Structure 1
């Protein structure tokens, strides 16, 4: 039957892909703007990178723009990055405006084209640790986690893990609950301060574990921001540079 043949193709291809990504240079949790940017920057330089996204649709908060007005704002200094990705934009009030669907689609396309792989519908329920260092992620099916089913996970080894889960900082929270790190409370909206705060506080929060984007803001207690994604992109680029230097 053709149906069986199609199912066989899907299953064989998927498990071949999954097997090849059980050992990574970098495991990124969350396919939002900072995670995708970090994946793009690292993968284009030859590092083995996978992103684990618990939702069906990667892209994080990009798609909805501001209150579902699908436009986002970036800093003008990111023009070169947008040009590199082939993204169309306009400049107003010394800021760059981009259609959010176009931006998310282009970022996802370019990231996967340079070799990063996105595993959607996969939740990271824990980290692996050895000799006091985070050395991988413990994954399970996203729907399984949401339903609260007690199904044992599997482990993916990685030299570094990036928490790019946004406001919840899901991976960092796992360590905070165990008293391994201290997390502060995210502050109310202040876009002026938040953009700079996110970039400045992007970095390693525990041996082997990095925080980027709004996860860095949540860990260090900075203000939140709205549909202004320049800080997310700059954070992703910075964390990629930090990890590259460590891996080299």
Structure 2
């Protein structure tokens, strides 16, 4: 079969990319929620936030989204989740099978791509290759994030960043809890957690780690929330290993907490 392609003008291609990207970036100069990290908990949070009509942007420092889900366990690209997370997989439309009572298995690639697609369709914007290098802190409240290109950070260049204003920031950066560490290390503030600082995660204990990840999903400083492994890293919880149900449920919980807060503040009720 012969296919006749139309003539192409490289200038139009360049103009289309720059124009559309600039339009998107300008539209995100002020959002309601900035999610930092597009791993499982960050994507889940964005899905439910956007689904509630909340203007949400996700900033991912890598080229790809999905965090640790791509590799499954030790590069066997299957992921395991438990019964409470089943409804999320069903809602998004990701296929899975029951391996044993209470244990479900899903293809890692389908999970990542399906969840990312669902996030975009809900209306959240995902911006990759951008690093959050700081937060905006005003009157002891986190009111935005400071952005730069990941390539700038990697190259060690001195290039001033840009800032995005928001009402809430979600640290979904995983084991590093990068945003919370930036806040505490640069400003010496005390967190609303036991010890008032980042505790660092403990070794692997899947059963307890899964429970703790939901318990630790919370607002840790005015305007700053933690979800996923960042929640356990901040509170000193156990890691879970290659099981991802708690991560998705944590994202759903943080979305619920933020939705409630934004509704309360809009109605004039006390937080």
Q: Establish whether TM, by shorter chain, passes 0.5.
A: yes
Alpha-carbon shift at residue 45 of structure 1 (Å)? 1.4
Alpha-carbon shift at residue 176 of structure 1 (Å)? 2.1
Q: 1:164 aligns with which of 162, 172, 177?
A: 172
Is 1:202 the equivalent of 2:213?
A: no
Q: Which moved more, 1:119-128 or 1:221-230?
A: 221-230
Alpha-carbon shift at residue 224 of structure 1 (Å)? 1.1
Is 1:3 the equivalent of 2:28?
A: no
Q: Which moved more, 1:236-245 or 1:87-96?
A: 87-96
Alpha-carbon shift at residue 185 of structure 1 (Å)? 2.2
What TM-score, normalized by structure 2, do the two folds share? 0.90
The whole-number CA distance in structure 2 between the counterparts of 1:187 and 1:247 is: 33
Is 1:179 the equivalent of 2:188?
A: yes
Unaligned runs of 5+ residues in structure 1 are none
CA contact 2:206–2:238 (8 Å) conserved in 1: yes
Q: 2:37 aligns with which of 16, 25, 30?
A: 30
RMSD: 0.9
Q: What is the aligned residue count? A: 248
Residue 69 (structure 1) aligns with: 76
Alpha-carbon shift at residue 242 of structure 1 (Å)? 0.2
Runs (4 or more) in structure 1 with deviation over 6 Å come to: none
Residue 124 (structure 1) aligns with: 132
Q: Output one character per residue of 1:140-197: Cα deviation in whole Å (capped at 9) or x when no partner.
A: 0011111111100000000000000000010000122132131102111111110001
The whole-number CA distance in structure 2 between the counterparts of 1:100 and 1:58 is: 12
Residue 56 (structure 2) aligns with: 49
CA contact 2:80–2:243 (8 Å) conserved in 1: yes
The whole-number CA distance in structure 1 between the counterparts of 2:244 and 2:179 is: 21
Residue 268 (structure 2) aligns with: none
Residue 147 (structure 2) aligns with: 139
Unaligned runs of 5+ residues in structure 2 are 1-7, 191-196, 264-271
Q: 1:216 aligns with which of 231, 234, 245?
A: 231
The whole-number CA distance in structure 2 between the counterparts of 1:84 and 1:228 is: 19
Decide which structure has the larger Cα Rg and report it: 2
CA contact 2:85–2:246 (8 Å) conserved in 1: no
Residue 86 (structure 1) aligns with: 93
Q: Output one character per residue of 1:79-131: Cα deviation in whole Å (capped at 9) or x when no partner.
A: 22111111110012221100000000100000000100100000000000111
CA contact 2:143–2:166 (8 Å) conserved in 1: yes
